[in-house]
Amino acid sequence: MDTNLFKAELVALLPKLRGLAMVLTGSAAAADDLVQDTMVRAWRFREGFQEGSNMAAWVNRILRNTFYTAAAARRNVVQDVDGKYAAQLSCKPEQEWRVKYGELLSALRLLTPEAREALLLVAAEGLSYEEAAGVVGCPVGTLKSRVNRARERLAELIDVDLPKANQRAALRAAPAAAAPVRNAWAPTANAA
């Protein structure tokens, strides 16, 4: 069929298509959308139209199939106006961990090179203290101190609560409570 003739017949069917679309959708805006989708599909598949057959029936079938396909797709969509259903499906945001990871990397850069190296050898590389001390070339006790100070400083920089580190720091900061000194020569309650 000639393209111009096909186009003319298709445009002539617009009022009837819009009437059918109004009956199916019940909304002028939805009907206009449905007619537009139908016209686009009819134009796209114009090679499938057999000349001499009923174009109105062919286009009406396209309109009905488009409508029912969209209706079937809408059945699978949950109307969640107040967001209650979406809240049940939510998961923790991934970006929070990315931010924390960025903070960790920034805090690592603030450590002294020796502390950073000691911490990364033990915590990231998984070396034992002895192996890491051999790599760095320092005594094991020195390496352990560097790792401990690096962990405490890193926790402080990224604002993480380390119970053991906090307890030790509190003990160091608090004045030692004077334990009562017992006079070895003083008589006790048991002695008589």
Read off the pLDDT of residues 46-102 as tens digits, 9 standing for 90 and up. 888 888 889 999 999 999 999 998 888 877 776 777 777 777 776 666 777 788 888
Domain spans, the chain: 3-73, 95-171
Tell me which architecture the domain covering 3-73 has in CATH. Orthogonal Bundle (1.10)
Decide if 59 contacts 42 (C-beta within 8 A).
Answer: yes
pLDDT band at 179 (very low <50, low <70, confident <90, very high): very low
Render the burial of 84-119: b for 16+ CB within 10 Å, e for the rest: eeeeeeeeeeeeeeeeeeeeeeebbeebeeebbbbb
Rounded Cα distance, 115 and 122, in Å: 11
Decide if 90 contacts 84 (C-beta within 8 A).
Answer: no
Q: Which fold has domain 95-171?
A: Arc Repressor Mutant, subunit A (1.10.10)
pLDDT computed for residue 42 by the predictor:
92
- 0.75 exceeded by pTM: no
Region of poorest pLDDT, from 20-24, 82-86, 131-135: 82-86
CA-wise closest residue to 136 among 152, 105, 113: 113
The DSSP code for 8 is H
